[in-house]
Amino acid sequence: MQGGTRTSGVRWAVLVTALGLLAGASGCQDTGPAAPDGGTPGGRAAGEDAGGGGWPPVNTPADTVVGATLVADPETLDPAWTYFLDAEAIVMNMYDRLVGFEREKPDAFVPSLATEWTLSDDKTVYTFALREGVRFHAGGTLEPHDVAYSLQRAMLQDRSAGPIWMYLKPVLGVSSIASLAVELADAAPDEGEEPPALDALPDEALREACEAVRAAVTAADEAGTVTIRLATATPWFMQLLAMPWASVLDREWMIEEGDWDGDCDGWVAWHDPAVEESLLFDRENGTGPYQLDAWKKKESFALEAWDDYWRTEPAWPGGPSGPPRLKHIVRHQVPEWSTRYAKLQSGEVDWADVPQPDRDQLADLVYAECDGPDEQAACTVVNEAGFLNYYSGYPQASAWALTFNFDIAATGGNPYIGSGELDGEGIPPDFFSDLDVRRGFNHCFDWETMIEEVNRGDAVQSRGPIISGLQGFEEDSPIYTFDLDTCVEELGQAWDGRLPEVGFELTVPHWAGGVEAEAVLEILADGLARANPKYRLETLPLEPTAMMADVNDRRLPMSIAGWGEDYHDASNWAFTYLHSGGAYGGYQSFPTDLTTRLDSLVEEAQVETDDAQRDRMYAELQGLAIDEATAIYLSQGLGWRYERREIHGVYVNLVSPWAMGIGPDLYSVWKEVP
Amino acid sequence: MRTYIARRLLLLPVILFGTTLLTFGLLAQLSPSQRAALYVPRLPRSPQAVERVIARYGLDDPMPEQYLRWLGQVAQGNLGFSKSGGEPVSTVIRHHLPATLELALWSSVTIVWVGIRLGVLAAIHRDRALDQLLRVFSTIASGVPFYLVGLLGLLLFAGRLQWLPAGDRLSSPNQLLVDGPTWLPLTGMYTLDALVNRRPDVWLDALRHLALPVASLSVVSWAYLLRVTRSSMLEALGEDYVRTALAKGVPARQAIERHAWANARLPVVTLAGLTVLGLLGGVAFVEAVFNWPGLGSRFIQAGVSLDIVTTMGLTLFAATMLVIGNLVVDVLGAWLDPRIRLS
């Protein structure tokens, strides 16, 4: 017996030694992991740089920023397709545009691919002189026809509920290329009818629509210029040219790879593609400071520095030039907050998605609290041992709402609406077409609790789709308040007074891991249940891609609709939430009379040049949205974020903010240990 | 032995047939239009267009006909398109299986090797301090779910003490390396591929990332294995042939290993086999906690996405693996104990 024990003891010693080696190996991690090229370590330990003076562990290389996010996959890499903040930020880094923003200013511009530009007296003709010697990542050389091709392609591609309406309206005076073709074919549908499909229109009309696009954006290769002619003067047009959708592609490369050939015959084949059908869905060939390194779907996304980047002079005083300082930008998909938290705590990531309600958990890790968006803000050191800087309280042009779907798609069955009948086990597809239901839901929502619990006090209740600081926003405009009695009353009138007796049940999905959205839905569910226990709203965590597919198919009864503005003007908000072509309004299936009313008012306000009149029109839209209760307009929040102390150079531009660990200007960012 | 294996192998297709029938039976519960929604990324809204989809995929045909057609597709490796994965289900399996396999392999080795050793130790130290300690451990560990062990391990060893990484398979630079063009991805299991690519640093990094997930899976399994091994060994150690061996002067180690263990191992091996197969369930939770990009986390993601095609495909795959795994355990049992194959 004794011998057996001794032998086991030896084996145990081996096991313990092995475990010790493993654990010990973790102690070696502060030398930094090996570089991707397999050579020298990618970065020095921050602790070493600081002379071992207690700098918290940094386990990412000095030339790499690693993030842990709820979702790593961008929606797409096609600049003209994406309408999602994080994908837009990625595109901004891989491609360049004619002009760029002057750092954080949304209305000041610096040369980018254009060296200079002029605007005609009537403010409708822009002429840009193009920079020479710029190369695309795949080797092509930038020429004026590339710029013209890129903008023309975007306008012809014009995917449904996408971003290109913003360009079509000022350039051609229409909200979609399809509507222009229908107009040219004189095939406008009767009221209440669907417009004809594009491929059912005569070739001549299609060709004319395409020619209109080509005439609006022209290139003079020899002169090295590009000219854009607008249908109406648009004060924010330069903002649009600095945004990702105006990114410049290599015409020759695109045609070679099978995209639109630049010809007006057959362009419809490239119109409104499904997201994966676009050539640029998971490929890129831009001129920007970063190129696509690796994209492992559902796992990680990585950018790599483009060392041949063209910029030799800073775009603004103190701005960057030369090759990018950060060589790799990596973000991992880590759906679990506890795992993201542990990664942040251990220095494995420089950045992590922090759910708003869990912000308190990071209190011990904070080094300094800064009252503003960047390093220029006033900062107070709160914990010498902390390693995060907490920036907060800065304005941001974003808000969110809980939209109603007036005509829920139910073909093939829809698990979100249960029985699909008003029998207490579900809701009918047109449940939200009843105004009393929508108003009742609004009165059952407790904004105060949401702002306190979800926004941690850093937000104000939205007064409609238009945010503060823009035309149409009035501090004292009517809004809904949490009032259970009114909720009971409104819902009691709905559906011929049948609701209180029968009740209803619906399921509203939210992004899995999106605790803010879940909390908002729980607040609404609680309010409804308190109004009547037979009013049941269930929440369902759904994987983002699957959820987006159901949003696109109009299968969701309600959806969480967050928005960061594309350009700083009320028209952006009104179109997005209220127009039938908007990113959210387009999926709400408003009834025809309401659609007509909203669409015409949105479009008229867009082209109105008289400021006072515009203000009135947007105020009317704001009021209409509340009166018709098109959504539960939740809140407009103040900006906040956590960042490791080593990260420098981040700034916040209102119309082009950071999203999911990727900023629109990573070129300005670097890491440095004090 | 050969006859026994042949008999078991002959049963395999029958069991697999049953498995496919059950899986397809679940799908058959949906109406044709509901199934149509699974076949096309965007189901048209008009009933006529839905009818066209139903007709195109034969979703209104008699069930046996649909089953055979589906079986034919499955046999060709076509398990449908994964909405939540954005790629065919077979590709999802190909991409994510190596991660799960690597985790399962390392966990199996750890569970079996350490679990049995602990059980033997407890038995030969019966009623002494070590035995008592292990029994307390076993009682506590058997009541704790996998994910809780994982979360505690994550917060303590990764977050607080920072001894081990908090999830993922490799650190970011190494992940970029293995995803890059210079890396030879032979098996997709980094601990093996690192050896082939002669990168001990990557091997160590992969091992460090495995430590916490493997430990999380092992702790609970050890509890069960320890108990069964202990009681089997105690029973064997009390048998006459062990006492006789010791009385004849056979060294204690030899008496334990050759005589007691040889007879105690059958229930242990059976349980070990079942425990390893049972990992498929636990792996899903551990993968979710440690952000391990394996089939388990895909399964969870498909579930929360109401992605029936992926859920079905992965269920079928897991069921097939289980059936084959059970066969291996049976054959192993028969090889260890001739009484099984003779009966």
The residues near A359 (Cβ < 8 Å, ≥ 6 apart) are: A456, A640
CB contact under 8 A, B301 and A298: yes
CB A69 within 8 A of CB A61: no
Beta strands across the sheet bearing A378-381: A378-381, A366-371, A388-394, A639-644
CA A544 from centre of chain: 13
CB contact under 8 A, B176 and A328: yes
Mean of pLDDT values over A166-178:
93
CB B289 within 8 A of CB A339: yes
Distance from CA of B102 to the nearest CA of A (A): 17
Name every chain A residue with its beta carbon within 8 A of the beta carbon of B290: 339
Distance from CA of A500 to the nearest CA of B (A): 31
Distance from CA of A246 to the nearest CA of B (A): 27
Better pLDDT: B221 or A424: A424
Of A282, A317, A341, the domain-final residue: A282
pLDDT given for residue A18 in this prediction: 39
Q: Are residues A410 and A277 in the same domain?
A: no
How far apart CA A157 and CA A236 sit, in angstroms, is: 22
Q: Is residue A660 part of a domain?
A: no
pLDDT per residue over A563-586, tens digit each? 888 888 999 999 999 998 888 998
CB contact under 8 A, B162 and A332: no
Nearest residue on chain B to A550, alpha-carbon basis: B42
**Nearest-CB residue to B304 (from A12, A35, A541):** A541
Nearest residue on chain A to B154, alpha-carbon basis: A342
Q: Are residues A278 and A404 in the same domain?
A: no
Mean of pLDDT values over A118-133:
95
Q: Is A612 helix (H, G, I), strand (E, B) or coil?
A: helix
pLDDT per residue over B33-46, tens digit each? 666 666 655 555 55
> Bridge-partner residues for A662, per DSSP?
A659
∠ CA B300-A545-B292, nearest 5°, is 40
Mean of pLDDT values over A61-81:
89
Nearest residue on chain A to B126, alpha-carbon basis: A1
pLDDT at B279 over 90: no
Q: Is residue A630 part of a domain?
A: yes
Nearest residue on chain A to B210, alpha-carbon basis: A22
Name every chain A residue with its beta carbon within 8 A of the beta carbon of B134: none
Q: What percentage of residues in chain A have a pLDDT greater than 70? A: 90
Name every chain B residue with its beta carbon within 8 A of the beta carbon of A73: 86
Nearest residue on chain B to A301, alpha-carbon basis: B176
Name every chain B residue with its beta carbon within 8 A of the beta carbon of A11: 117
Q: What percentage of residues in chain A have a pLDDT greater than 90? A: 60
Name every chain B residue with its beta carbon within 8 A of the beta carbon of A60: 172
Stated length of chain B: 343
Radius of gyration of chain B from its Cα atoms, rounded to whole angstroms: 24
How far apart CA B155 and CA B161 sit, in angstroms, is: 8
Query: Considering its fold, how many domains does chain A have in total?
Result: 2
Which alpha helices (H) appear in A608-664, and where do they start and end? 611-627
Q: Are residues A276 and A420 in the same domain?
A: no
pLDDT given for residue B339 in this prediction: 66
Question: Within a 13 Å sphere around the CA of B289, how many CA atoms are in the beta-carbon half?
Answer: 25
Q: How many helices (H) and strands (E) does chain B have?
A: 16, 2
Considering Cα of A161, then A164, then A166, then A170, what sign does the dihedral take? Answer: negative
How far apart CA B293 and CA B167 sit, in angstroms, is: 10
Name every chain B residue with its beta carbon within 8 A of the beta carbon of A547: 305
pLDDT given for residue A391 in this prediction: 92
> Bridge-partner residues for A511, per DSSP?
A542
Mean of pLDDT values over A27-54:
34
pLDDT at A491 over 90: yes
| Range B323-331, long-range pairs (CB < 8 A, 24+ positions) | B323/B12, B323/B15, B323/B16, B323/B19, B324/B12, B325/B273, B325/B276, B325/B277, B326/B273, B326/B277, B327/B8, B327/B9, B327/B12, B328/B273, B329/B269, B329/B270, B329/B273, B329/B274, B329/B277, B330/B8, B331/B4, B331/B5, B331/B8
Single out the residue of A288, A309, A331, A247 nearest to residue A94, CA to CA. A288
Single out the residue of A589, A672, A565, A619 nearest to residue A83, CA to CA. A565
Name every chain B residue with its beta carbon within 8 A of the beta carbon of A326: none
The residues near A25 (Cβ < 8 Å, ≥ 6 apart) are: B204, B207, B208
What integer best gives the mean pLDDT of chain A?
Answer: 86
Q: Is residue A30 part of a domain?
A: no
Whole-prediction pTM: 0.78
Distance from CA of A510 to the nearest CA of B (A): 10
The region that residue B127 occupies, defined by phi over 0 for left and psi between -120 and 50 for alpha, beta otherwise, is: left
How far apart CA A644 and CA A647 sit, in angstroms, is: 6
**Nearest-CB residue to B117 (from A11, A27, A541):** A11
CB contact under 8 A, B179 and A415: no
CB contact under 8 A, B84 and A3: no
pLDDT per residue over A267-320, tens digit each? 999 999 888 889 999 999 999 999 999 898 888 899 999 999 999 999 999 899
Tokens of A354: 């922090």
Nearest residue on chain B to A27, alpha-carbon basis: B163
pLDDT per residue over A541-553, tens digit each? 877 767 777 887 8
How far apart CA B223 and CA B142 sit, in angstroms, is: 5
Q: Residue A34 has what DSSP assignment? A: B
CB A130 within 8 A of CB A113: yes
Distances (CA, A) of A334 to A300, A329, B210, B291, B342: 9, 16, 17, 6, 52
Stated length of chain A: 674
Distance from CA of B169 to the nearest CA of A (A): 11
pLDDT given for residue A20 in this prediction: 37
Of A266, A282, A298, the domain-final residue: A282
Single out the residue of A494, A36, A31, A624 nearest to residue A304, CA to CA. A36
How far apart CA A575 and CA A120 sit, in angstroms, is: 27
Single out the residue of B275, B285, B271, B264 nearest to residue B337, CA to CA. B264
Single out the residue of A414, A457, A632, A444 nearest to residue A536, CA to CA. A444
Q: Is residue A654 part of a domain?
A: no
Q: The domain that contains A555 carries what CATH number?
A: 3.10.105.10
Nearest residue on chain B to A541, alpha-carbon basis: B304
Structural domain including A523 reads 399-636
| Residue B31: burial class (beta carbons within 10 Å; 0-12, 13-18, 19+) | middle
pLDDT at A17 over 50: no
If residue A571 lies in a helix (H) or strand (E), which one and from where to where?
helix A570-578
pLDDT at A505 over 90: yes
CB contact under 8 A, B306 and A415: yes
pLDDT per residue over A358-388, tens digit each? 888 899 899 999 999 888 899 999 998 899 9
CB B60 within 8 A of CB B54: yes
Distance from CA of B337 to the nearest CA of A (A): 25
Distance from CA of A35 to the nearest CA of B (A): 6
If residue A105 lies in a helix (H) or strand (E), which one and from where to where?
strand A105-111
Mean of pLDDT values over A463-492:
94
CA B87 from centre of chain: 23
* Residue found by looking up tokens 């194959």 in the block: B341
Least confident of A87-101, A108-122, B167-181, B257-271: B257-271
CB contact under 8 A, A25 and B204: yes
pLDDT at A258 over 50: yes
pLDDT band with cut points at 50, 70 and 90 for residue B327: confident
Name every chain B residue with its beta carbon within 8 A of the beta carbon of A409: 43, 45
How far apart CA A598 and CA A617 sit, in angstroms, is: 11
CB contact under 8 A, B42 and A11: no
**Nearest-CB residue to B155 (from A333, A338, A543):** A338
Distance from CA of B343 to the nearest CA of A (A): 35
| Residue A170: burial class (beta carbons within 10 Å; 0-12, 13-18, 19+) | buried
pLDDT given for residue A25 in this prediction: 35
The residues near A485 (Cβ < 8 Å, ≥ 6 apart) are: none
pLDDT per residue over B72-88, tens digit each? 888 888 887 777 777 78
Q: Residue A424 has what DSSP assignment? A: S
The 3-state secondary structure of B10-43, one letter per residue: HHHHHHHHHHHHHHHHHHHCCCHHHHHHHHCCCC
How far apart CA B326 and CA A142 sit, in angstroms, is: 62
Name every chain B residue with its beta carbon within 8 A of the beta carbon of A348: 165-166, 171-172
Q: Is residue A474 part of a domain?
A: yes
CB contact under 8 A, B83 and A298: no
How far apart CA A238 and CA A128 sit, in angstroms, is: 12
Which alpha helices (H) appear in A268-375, and where do they start and end? 337-345
Mutation choice for B interface testing from A298, A333, A340, A349 by most B CBs within 10 A: A298
Least confident of A169-173, A363-367, A656-660, B135-139: A656-660
Q: Residue A418 has what DSSP assignment? A: B
What domains are there in chain B, each with its CATH number? Answer: 2-82 (no CATH), 93-342 (1.10.3720.10)
pLDDT per residue over A394-405, tens digit each? 888 889 999 999
Nearest residue on chain B to A67, alpha-carbon basis: B172
CB contact under 8 A, B120 and A296: no
ipTM: 0.73
Contact pairs from chain A to chain B, CB under 8 Å:
199
Distance from CA of A57 to the nearest CA of B (A): 9
Q: Is residue A585 part of a domain?
A: yes
pLDDT given for residue A219 in this prediction: 97
Q: Is residue A672 part of a domain?
A: no
Q: Is residue A47 part of a domain?
A: no
Of A282, A314, A336, the domain-final residue: A282
CB contact under 8 A, A338 and B289: yes
> Bridge-partner residues for A539, per DSSP?
A508
Tokens of B315: 């269920």
Q: Residue A189 has what DSSP assignment? A: P
Q: Residue A267 has what DSSP assignment? A: G
Distance from CA of B278 to the nearest CA of A (A): 24
pLDDT band with cut points at 50, 70 and 90 for residue A56: low
pLDDT at A9 over 50: no
Nearest residue on chain B to A340, alpha-carbon basis: B166
pLDDT given for residue A119 in this prediction: 95
Radius of gyration of chain A from its Cα atoms, rounded to whole angstroms: 27
Q: The domain that contains A147 carries what CATH number?
A: 3.90.76.10
CB A605 within 8 A of CB A614: yes
